[in-house]
Structure formats: C-alpha cells, structure tokens
Structure 1
Amino acid sequence: MTDSFDTPQNFPYGLAFDGTHLWVMGQVDTTVYKIDTSGSVVDSFAFPGYISPGDLAFDGTHLWAASTHQEKIHQVSTSGVLIQTINAPGDTTSGLACDGRYLWITSNEASGYTVYKIDRSGNVITSFASPGGGFKGLTFDGRYLWHVDATKHMLYKFDREGTVHGIYELPLEGEQIGPRGLATDGTSLWYSNYYDNKIYRIALPQAVTVGEQERRTINFKITDSQSVTLSSLSIANDTNHAFQLENDTCSGQTLHGPDACSFDILFSSASPGTFTADLLLPLFLPGLHTITAQLECTAEESVLLGHPGGLPWVQLLLLCQ
C-alpha cells in the first residue's frame, strides 16, 4: 500500500483517471468530482439525470458512467453534459473501462460474472467469463485489464482474451474493506473503498532489470476444511533456466483448512526477452492431482503467476515483497 486519502463524498463507487486527475462518483451522492491525486477537489458537476451509480471510465475526451441497475451506460462531457446513453449487455453492470477504442464492462448474470467488449454504440464485439466473482471496478492499463473482487478482496489482471496474468490480494484486512471503482495510470492502481470513504493507491509491480534477480513469495492456502498433502514442488519446461524454486515449506506437507505454506520463485536473466516455465504442484486429495501454473517474465514485467483453475477451494496468492 502506498497511500490513501478521503473522498469528497460518502460511499464512493465509480473511479476513473484522465491522465492527470481522478474522477469519482458516489453511490448516494451522484455528484462527479474531479480531484488531484492527493484528494483535493479541482472541479465537480451534478450528474445529468438519474443514474444508479456504478463504475466510471475515461476515453481520452469524455467520461462514461455505468448505471448498475438500469443496464445503461452514459457518455458525458467533463463539464457534465450528457452526450448519449447506450444499452449495456447483461443483467447488472458493475465494472467499466475503456481501452481507447472499445468499452469493457462486467455484468453479474445468473451464470456468473461476464466481461463484455462493446463498441461505443453498445454492440457486443466479444465476451468471456470473468476469472472470479464479486467483481466491481474494472480498468485498463494500456495492455491488461484489472478487475477488483469486492467479496474476496482480490485483484485480477488479465488480457483482452480473458487469460489471467496475475492474482493479487488487497493489502487491507477487516470489516472496512469495500473496494468498488478502479483506475490506473500504468504505474499505480487506485481503488475507491465504499465503507471508509477513501481512495487507496497501490504501486504496481516494478520492471525486472536484465542481470538482476526478482523474487516473489507465493502463499499456498487451503480455503475450506479439505485435507491436502503436497508432494515435491518443481519447475518444468524452463528451457532458459530463468526460474528457481527456493525456501519451499510446502513439499511433503499435509495442510488442513485454513492452513498455509509458502515458497519463493526467483527469476533472473542475462538478456531481455519473454521467459516462461511451469510450476507443478502435485496434490493428494486422496488421489493425485497436479496443478500447473504458468510462470512468465519479460524485460518489462515482474514474475506473474497464472491462476491454476480446476480446484476452486485452492488459492495461490502472489505477494510482492
């Protein structure tokens, strides 16, 4: 966690970044506030017309606001003039982001959460299942989409095809966690916290420098009463010998929920490029099941752990230290 500041209204929800300033809208007070990154109010306007507030997005010129229970998305100018209203696909719109050309929204449906890519007239281009549940805010960092899970207090990073590239735990605990809107400048993530009326800033993982080492500690947690025995963890398909497994307290252990163990993934390379390997976690439930999680590192990004999938009561949490 880097810092936080109070929002100008209670129950903040929608959040967007325009390259210089943040824009925030509350779920009760639907005034849209333009604030600097320290929380000082620069400008504001009353939202033009009725809205059931959801997330905000900025397209480079205008703001877009999701109306959660209306299944509508409103385009407004930064001075508060309503430009157009389009229909949103799905049942309950929550997250909203813009990649410069298309809008991305999340919808809570009977079958689960869905991510939709739509044009600015509301036509669906593509869609895929969200990589988790309880989602609220959505943002785009220029390459990846980020989504915040308000129930599990997790951040998911995934590409525009739906492949997960990172799962992160919000560095807060207690009853005051209520993440809603999400915004980024490519270096930091901001999220609005519904219950304590604050905006928090989280530093994104830093770049890996060629010739240096990057270490990540992975916590393996059992999330229900299931008993699990882990055999020997290993790294496979590491053709460039870029990844190492160290400080392994998981291999040979039997865990009972909510037990946890941990291990370190160490990355280093003498040359730039993209490097991948597979982390193998053999589990006895009873019966042998092996989780394969892809490790990926480039000259521009930190080590990332893909979501293992397949066993919903197992969480792998990537903690940057």
Structure 2
Amino acid sequence: MAARFRPSAPHTSTASSVAAAQGQWGRACPQPPCCVQALGLGLLWVPRWPVHGWRVQVEWPPVGVQEASTAAAAGTARPRWFSETVPQVLLYVALPDVCHRFLPGYVGGVQEGAVTPAGVINKYEINGLQAWLITHLLWLANARFLSWFPPTIIFDNWIPLLWCANILGYAVSTFAMIKGYLFPTNARDCKFTGNFFYNYMMGIEFNPRIGKWFDFKLFFNGRPGIVAWTLINLSFAAKQQELHGHVTNSMVLVNVLQAIYVLDFFWNEAWYLKTIDICHDHFGWYLGWGDCVWLPYLYTLQVSARATRPAQ
C-alpha cells in the first residue's frame, strides 16, 4: 500500500522495554587498550586500500594496454569537476516522493523508523528510488542528447574524485563528532566511551540530523555512494567502448547484476529503516567515510578491472 504523508516531528515512545534498554544499547562500554592500537591501524591503513585496489587493476595492466591504463590512472588529461553530493542533497530534502503514488507495492513517502534507545521514533522521507531514477535519466539524456560532459567523466577523473571523496568523508565524520559533543540532535541517544578515537570511528550520535529531514545516517548510507555505484559502472563501460570499440559481455553482466542490487535496495528503502545500520549503528567515520569512499571505490573494482582490458 502506498505510504501517506504524516507530520514530520519525531515523537517519544513510553514503552517500558525502551526505558529498560537505557545505558545498555549502543557503544558505551569501556574499550580495552588494544582497541586504541586497532583504531590507529584502521584510520591509517584502511584509506590506502581503495588506492591500492585501483593501482592493481589499472596501473599494472596486462601487456598491450599499458598506454591506455597510464592515461586512465593519471585522470588529469582533461580536468573536470563532477559533484553528485549537492544534487543528491537537493533530491533528498527538497523533492518529496511521488513514486509511491503510482508504483504498486512500493512504499515511499514519509515513513517511521525504529524506536531509538531514548524512545524516539524518527520520521524519514523515503525517496531514494525517485532520486536514483532522476539521476540516471539525466545521465542517459546527457550521454544521448545533451553532451554537457562525456560519459567517461568519472573514469577520466577517478583519482581526483578519490581525493574529493576522502575530503568529504573525513569532513562529515569530523563534523558529526563535533556535533555530538556540542549540539547533538538528541543528547539521550549519544554514547561516549572515553576513547576519543573510538568515538570518532564508531560515532557518538545515533541519529544526527540537520533540521527535520536531513538525516546523516540515511543520506550517506543511501544516497551519494550507492547512487554513484551504477553511474560509475556506466562510466567505466563507456570508457571500455571508447578504448576498444565495444563493451564486453562481462562488463554488461556486471552492470546489470549490480544495478539489480542497487534497485532492490531502493525498492526496499522503507524496510532498510529497521535494519542494523539504522537501528544500532551510531554515525561516525565508519559510516561517514565508508559511505563516501569505501562503497563507491571498492564495490566497483569489477568494472575497473574490465574497463581498460579488451576481451580475452
């Protein structure tokens, strides 16, 4: 059944089970000394993995495609700026969902999340499928008719975009940390462990928000990275077409199967509100950086492995 719009203000549950969970749910337990070492290694080494994955796939190619791979790795032959985050913010907060009005079985519009440890039930605007459709229709219209930018733009600027994604990931994680200390959305849902690095990595606030609708956790989990996933695949397929004059069956298969996964996520976005990501995880570097960098750069290694290589 299609969702109906309801008032946006969160309300508080008085259930006794919620009260009993106070102080126990979340990451409020003391951390052992070895945790600091593990956190340091994670913050230092994990950001290197996307770069290493790219170098393995593109900078060290099979014999015969070295020249194309070197140009791709440089990513600066025709420097361009391509930003998806700002448009996704606008599609998230400024365009209420209409897909649920005409797609049978799809649940969109304003939906309630799970009860938080403090007893709050937040409301969310479920419009991810709409945002994905608009983004990709504009992308395809540009590739076919408008020619505002080449469809290979993501591939051509992959490393500069990696720098931008890292800056965004660390910026949003740091802002979430400061916000949790100074002006949390709901102080009763904050968890402090006494370990600064653990708080930074795993998060303090349960549901950091700006205003009534911009929810950090839902937006970064379910907008820029996962919407970009299929755009990245299309851009790498376009690069393969440019380099070799055709798109291989394996590239088509990766695009189709991963698009099915992404569309399944957006079709079930209302259900996602009741999963572990929303119901248990606090928002810190683990989600902020992970959604901006880890998801789009590691989950797309299959297409980067194929873009510069002709069919074997």
Higher share in strand: 1
| TM > 0.5 fold call | no
TM-score (norm 1): 0.20
Q: TM-score, normalised by structure 2?
A: 0.20
Structure number having the greater helix percentage: 2
Q: 1 or 2 for the larger relative contact order (CA 8 Å, sep ≥6)? A: 2
